[in-house]
Amino acid sequence: MKNYDVVIVGAGSVGLPLAHRLAARGVRVGVVDELSSPGQGQNKAAIGGIRATHSDRAKIQIGIASLEFVRRLEEDYGEDVDWVQGGYLFPAYDQQIAENLKALLPIQKGYGLNIDWIGPEEVREIVPGIRAEGLLGGTFSPEDGHLSSLKLGGALYRLARRAGAEFHFETKVTGMEIVGGRVTAVLTDKGKFGCGTVVNAAGAFGREVGQMVGADLPVYPDSHEAGVTEPIQPLFNPMLVDIAPDEHSDNYYFYQAKEGAIVFCITPRPKRMGTDRRSTSEFLPMVIPRMLNLYPRLRNIRVRRVWRGLYPMTPDGVPIVGFDRDVEGFFHAVGMCGQGLMLGPGLAEIAAEAIVDGTEPEIFADLSPYRDFSGEELLK
Amino acid sequence: MRISQHPILDQKTGREVSFTFDGQPLVGREGEMVSSALFANGIRTFSRHKVDNAPQGIFCANGQCAQCTVLIDGLPMKSCITPLREGMDIRTLVHYPTLPPDDELRPSRRPPELSCQVLVVGAGPSGITAAIELADAGYSVILVDDKDHLGGKLVLQTHKFFGSMADCYAGTRGTDIAKILEEEARKRENITIMTDSVVVGVFADGKAGIYQPQEERYLLLSFAGVIVATGARERSLVFPGNDLPGVFGAGAFQTLVNRDLVKSSERVLIVGCGNVGLIAAYHALQAGIDVVALIDIAPKVSGYKVHGDKIKRMGVPIYLSHTLVSVQGEGKVEKATIAQVDESWNPLLSTAKTFAVDTVLIAVGLSSVDEFYSAGLEAGFPVLKTGDANEIAEASSAMIGGRITGREMARRLGSTIDIPEEWFAKAEILKSPPGEVFPRTHTWPPEDGWQPVIHCYEEIPCNPCTTVCPHNSIQLTGRTGTIMDLPEFSGKCIGCGLCVLICPGLAITLVRESEEAGLAEVVLPYEFDHNFQPGDQVILRDVEGSDLGRGTVLRTRFNKKHRTHLLTLQVQADIATKVAGILVQDPAVTQPLPEADFTYLPDNAIVCRCERITVGQIKEFVRENEVTDLNQLKLLRTAMGACGGKTCLDLLPRVLMEAGVKKEEIRPATYRPLTVEIPMKALANQGGDKA
C-alpha cells in the first residue's frame, strides 16, 4: 500500500493544478486516474478559453486567480502554453442581447472584472471582417484570453511531478476506505492508496465518486461538440461569444489559437445529457453556418477535426467545492460546468489552502455542496 | 517532362491550358491534377514549412497527406487532388496561408440528405465487387470514392495480374481490370456511383458526411450498413533526409508515372523489396527512368521471386540486408547512402555506398485504412471491412474478398443469400504469401520443335499459363493441390507463345533447336518499346540476372491484346534453357559515387511530416515526461497536423521503443474525424465559387 497525505481522484483540469499546488507546499500527493495519461478526459477537450467574465462572485474571483496564474506561467515556470491575452468579446446584433450584456456590467465590475461595452467600430477593429451589418457593439474584457488546453495540462503535469506529486494511471477507483467517519484510503483496481485527505476531482464522474462516500452531488454531464481548423496567419485575438440563440442551439464561441487554428464550440438545444463522446453528424451543419453568418471571411478556412466533450453541470451552473459534511477528510471539487480548464488553476490555489491550512474563504459559501441549487446563472 | 512514349499506356489526351506558377507562365493539360502539371514542368517543391522554411515536396499523391499543398487563386489546396484549369494562379505556399478578405455574407444551406441500404466506401477492387454482390442481392448501394475514376489503385497497375483467370482476371493488366469492373458496376441500376466524393466521417448517429470538393458541397448520407473498402496507405520510414522533396511513396510514384504519364524522376533508389517495390522498379524502367538499386533490410526478397528475378535480369541490383543511412541534398534529393546492417539492424557505416539519385521511393509496406470500421463498431451499426482495409494482400484476393463481404453484408441485413464455401478457400489462397522454392531441371533438346521453359520456381497463387495453352499441356503439379502449385509442361507445344504472353512474372520462354548445329532459338516476352532489328546483339541473362553472353535478334512480333513483344533470339544451344531475359538497363547507371557519405544522424529524421517533429525531439520528450500514451506526444504537435497522424502514428511506437519504452506499455492515440480538411463554405453549402 502506498501512503500519501492527499490522494486526488482525477488527473484532469482540477486534479492537475491542485496536485501541483499541494506538492509545491510540501504535501505528499498521489493522483489516480483510470485513463492512460494526464488530461485525457475532458481536459484536452476544452477548447482553451480562460475568462473571468462570469456573472457570479465565485466564478469571477476564481477566474481572476486562474488568469493570474496562466499569465505568470511562462515567467515563473518557463512553461509556454500558447497563452494569448486576447480578451473575450460578446458581440450583439440584437437590442435585447445588448441590454442583457450591459445589465451584467455593474455586477462584473463590482467583483473586480476589467470589462466594458465597446461600440461597433471598435469591435470591427478588434475583429477585422466581422459582419458589420446590424452590429450594435459588444462587451469586451481585455484581460481574458485563451491557451492550449493540451499544453496547460502537460505543463501542470510536469510541474506537479517536479514538485513531487506521484501519478498512477490506468488505475480505476473502486471505493473509499472509511474508518470511524474518516476517509483513510482510496481503493482501486491496482490496490489501496492510504491517505489523510481525498479530493474528488473526477469531473464528469464526480457524482459517482461522491457516491462512494454517500454524497449525492447534483453533477450531471451534458456534452458539446467542438472543432478546429487548419492554422492560418493571425486574424483576430479575442474569444468571440455569440449568445444569441437560434433554432437548434444556444451560444457558440470561437477564437484563433496562438498557433493559428480557429477553435470552435456550440451549445446544442435541447441539451445532450449523458457521457457519450462520439461525434455526431449534426455538429458541423449546426455550427458552421452560424459562424459564417457572424464572420463571413471564415468561409475559406478548412475544418480539420472535430470532437465532443462533457460538461459536468450543476443545477445553478456553479461548481461544487468543499469538504464533505459526513465523511471527514473528503474534499469535493467537481461540477465545473465545462469550465474546469479556466477555473482549475484559480480553484487549486484556494482548495490547497483549505486542505492544508483549513481556511474557508467567503466564496466557499457560494460553492458549498450543501447550498441551495435553485439559482440560475445569468451569463452562461 | 512527360512520358511521351510508354510501352503499355496510351498517351493522355486533353486540351492544353496555360497557368502560372509563382508568376511564371506554364502549360499543362486540362483536368490533370495540379501536382502532375507542376511535375511535368519540373517543379517539385510545392510549399515552405514554417519550421526552418523547409521545402515540401509531394509525398502520397493520394489526397491523404497535405505535403503537396499549394496556393491556388489565393487558397491553399492539395495539388494532387485538384484538377488543373485554364488560367489558374498557382503559388508556393509559404508557411501558413492568409485568409482572403472576402467579407460578403452568403446564405448557407443545410447539407442535402441521401439514403441507401449500404454505403460502400472506396471503389477499388474490393469495394466494387462488394457493391456488385449487394446490388445483385437486391440492395440499394451508394458506392463512394474520393477519386474521379473507379478502380482504386488498379489504375496504377500496368502489369499483368497473378491469380487465376476464372476468379480475378489473372494475366490481365490492372488498368484493364479497372475498366471491366467499372463497366460491371455501372450496369447495375441499384448502384449509385459517387466519384470525387470523400467520406470524411461515419458518425455516431448513423450518418456519413460526404465532401465533394469539385462542387464545394457537403452531404449527409443515411444507411443501414457500411462496407469499408478504403484500402491502405503506404508506410513511411524514418531516416535522415526523409523530408526532402524527392522522397515519396512507391504508390505516389506509380500515380505520377502510370496514371498521369509524368516523368517524375531521372534516377531512383527504391527502399523495400516487397511486391510494391519490385513492381515500382519495373514501372520505372518502362517509363524510361533509371533504377540505381532496390534495397531491403531483410535478408531476402519478400515479394514474389518472379518479380525480383525479372528486375535483376533487367539490370537492377538488389541489395539485401541493407538500410538507407541518409538522403542528402540542398532542398531536394541529390544523393542517397545505403549500408549493410548488422544483426541488430544497425548500419555498418564502413560498407556505405552513396548513389546520385533525384528520387527515393519508399515501398516498405502498407497499413490498412480502417478508421471508419472502428467508428462503425463504436456506433453499433452493421459494418464490415474488406480488401486492404481488412488485410493487406494482392488485388486479386481483394476482388474475391469483396464479393464475400458484399454477401456477408446482405446476410447481416437479413438476406439468406448463400456464400459458396469455395470463395473462402479461394480468398485464402489468393492472399497467400509466397511458399517454398523448388529447383527445376529443363529438358534439352526438345523432343519435337518448340517447348516452353518455365522459370517459375516459387509457389505463388497463379495459374493463367495453364488456362491459355491450346493443347492443355501445362498443368499445375505439387504438394498443395491449389493454384499455389508450380506449372509443369508435358505434351505438345505448337509454339503459339500464349503462355509466354500471359505470364505475369515474365517467367516463360519458348525454345527450339536451330537448324544450325550448336545454336538454338529462344522466344522471350518483352514489355518495352524497342527498335530491334534482325541481327542486333543483346546481352542475355539467366533467371536471376547472371550474364550469359550475347545473343542475336532473329525477329520480333507484337501482340496487341497483351501489349507485349515476343523477341526471338538466336543463342548458343547449351544455354537455351537458361536464357530468361535480356539486359535492359545500362550497368553504368547502377554504379555508386566514388566517395561514400558516412554522415549518420538518425535523430534528425522527421517522424511527423506535417509538423516537422524529429526523432530526437520525440525521444527527448518521451524520456523527460515518461511518455507511454501516444496522445501525450500531441503536446509536441505530433499527429496534430493536416493529415491527422496518418503517417506518423505508425512510426511512433518504434521511436518510443528506441527511447526505452516497453512495447506493451505503449497506448494508441485517439482517432477523431475528419479524414480530410473541408472548407467552411462547403460545409455550409454556400453554393460553390466555381459553379
Segment A129-148 mean pLDDT: 98
Q: Please tell me which residue of chain A has the smallest CA distance to B379.
A: A278
pLDDT on residue B12: 81
Q: Count other C-beta atoms under 10 Å from residue B175's C-beta.
A: 19
What's the Cα-to-Cα distance from A168 to each of A38, A173, A188, B211, B683, rounded to whole Å?
10, 11, 10, 43, 42
The per-residue pLDDT for range B432-448, each reduced to its tens digit, is 899 999 999 898 999 88
Q: Quick check: B471 pLDDT over 80?
A: yes
Q: Quick check: B569 pLDDT over 50?
A: yes
Q: What residues 187-206 of chain A have any CB closer than 8 A to a CB of chain B?
A: none
pLDDT on residue A213: 97
pLDDT category, B36, cuts 50, 70, 90? very high
* CB < 8 Å to B686, chain A: 292, 299
B544 strand-pairing partners: none
The per-residue pLDDT for range B179-206, each reduced to its tens digit, is 999 999 999 999 999 999 999 999 999 9
Q: Count other C-beta atoms under 10 Å from residue A180's C-beta.
A: 6
- Tell me, yes or no, if B634 comes closer than 8 A to chain A by beta carbon: yes
**What H or E segment, with its residue span, contains residue A184?**
strand A182-188
Are A37 and B629 a contacting pair at CB < 8 A? yes
Alpha helices in A295-380 (DSSP H): 340-357, 364-367
d(CA B663, CA B665): 5
Are A292 and B684 a contacting pair at CB < 8 A? yes
Question: Residue B683, preceding bond cis, omega within 30 degrees?
Answer: no
- Tell me, yes or no, if B612 comes closer than 8 A to chain A by beta carbon: no
Q: Please state, rounded to an integer, the average pLDDT across all residues of chain B.
A: 95
3-class state of residue A368 by DSSP? coil
- Tell me, yes or no, if B684 comes closer than 8 A to chain A by beta carbon: yes
Q: Count other C-beta atoms under 10 Å from residue B7's C-beta.
A: 18
CB B276, CB B359: distance < 8 Å? no
The residue to which cell 548488422 is assigned: B342
- Tell me, yes or no, if A307 comes closer than 8 A to chain B by beta carbon: yes
- Tell me, yes or no, if B671 comes closer than 8 A to chain A by beta carbon: no
d(CA B655, CA B660): 9
d(CA A86, CA A144): 7
3-class state of residue A239 by DSSP? strand
> In B418-545, which ranges are E strands?
451-454, 474-477, 486-489, 508-513, 519-526, 537-541
pLDDT category, B572, cuts 50, 70, 90? very high
Q: Which residues contact A76 (CB under 8 A, 6 or more apart)?
A: none
Q: Domain coordinates of chain A in residue numbers?
A: 2-51+150-219+316-367, 85-143+221-313
The residue to which cell 467579407 is assigned: B103
Q: What DSSP state is assigned to residue B12?
A: P
For domain A85-143+221-313, give the fold. D-Amino Acid Oxidase; Chain A, domain 2 (3.30.9)
Q: Quick check: A378 pLDDT over 80?
A: no
Residues making up chain A, counted from first to last? 380
The per-residue pLDDT for range A23-55, each reduced to its tens digit, is 999 999 999 999 999 999 999 999 999 999 999
The per-residue pLDDT for range A218-240, each reduced to its tens digit, is 999 999 999 999 999 999 999 99
pLDDT on residue B139: 98
**What H or E segment, with its residue span, contains residue A330?**
strand A330-334
pTM for the full predicted model: 0.95
Q: Quick check: B420 pLDDT over 50?
A: yes
Q: Count other C-beta atoms under 10 Å from residue A67's C-beta.
A: 23
- CA of A250, closest CA in chain B: separation in Å? 18
Q: Count other C-beta atoms under 10 Å from residue B330's C-beta.
A: 7
- Tell me, yes or no, if A259 comes closer than 8 A to chain B by beta carbon: yes
pLDDT on residue B691: 42
Segment A152-167 mean pLDDT: 98
- Tell me, yes or no, if A246 comes closer than 8 A to chain B by beta carbon: no
Question: Residue B445, preceding bond cis, omega within 30 degrees?
Answer: yes
3-class state of residue A332 by DSSP? strand
Q: Quick check: B345 pLDDT over 90?
A: yes
Same fold, A2-51+150-219+316-367 and A85-143+221-313: no
The per-residue pLDDT for range A183-204, each reduced to its tens digit, is 999 999 999 999 999 999 999 9
d(CA B362, CA B606): 14
d(CA A153, CA A11): 9
pLDDT on residue B485: 95
Are A278 and B378 a contacting pair at CB < 8 A? yes
The per-residue pLDDT for range B640-659, each reduced to its tens digit, is 999 999 999 999 999 999 99
Nearest to A279 by CA among B106, B671, B83: B671
- Tell me, yes or no, if B5 comes closer than 8 A to chain A by beta carbon: no
Residue A298 φ/ψ, nearest 5 degrees: -70, -5
Residue B673 has its nearest CB partner, among A150, A154, A305, at A305
Residue A302 has its nearest CB partner, among B625, B632, B679, at B679
Residue of A43, A277, A302 for testing the chain B interface, max B β-carbons within 10 Å: A302
Residue A154 has its nearest CB partner, among B105, B635, B667, at B635
Q: What DSSP state is assigned to residue B420?
A: -
pLDDT category, B10, cuts 50, 70, 90? confident
A302 strand-pairing partners: B679
d(CA B649, CA A60): 41
d(CA B31, CA A345): 55
Residue of B680, B681, B683 for testing the chain A interface, max A β-carbons within 10 Å: B680
CATH number among 3.30.200.20, 3.40.50.80, 3.40.50.300, 3.50.50.60, domain A2-51+150-219+316-367:
3.50.50.60
The per-residue pLDDT for range B57-89, each reduced to its tens digit, is 999 999 988 999 999 999 999 999 999 999 999
Residue B104 has its nearest CB partner, among A154, A281, A296, at A296
Q: Is B141 left (phi over 0), alpha (psi -120 to 50) or beta?
A: beta
Q: Quick check: A205 pLDDT over 50?
A: yes
First CA to last CA across chain B, in angstroms? 32
d(CA A135, CA A150): 34
- Tell me, yes or no, if A208 comes closer than 8 A to chain B by beta carbon: no
- Tell me, yes or no, if A302 comes closer than 8 A to chain B by beta carbon: yes
CB B475, CB B492: distance < 8 Å? no
* CB < 8 Å to A246, chain B: none
- Tell me, yes or no, if A163 comes closer than 8 A to chain B by beta carbon: no
Are B680 and A291 a contacting pair at CB < 8 A? yes
* CB < 8 Å to A40, chain B: 629, 631, 670
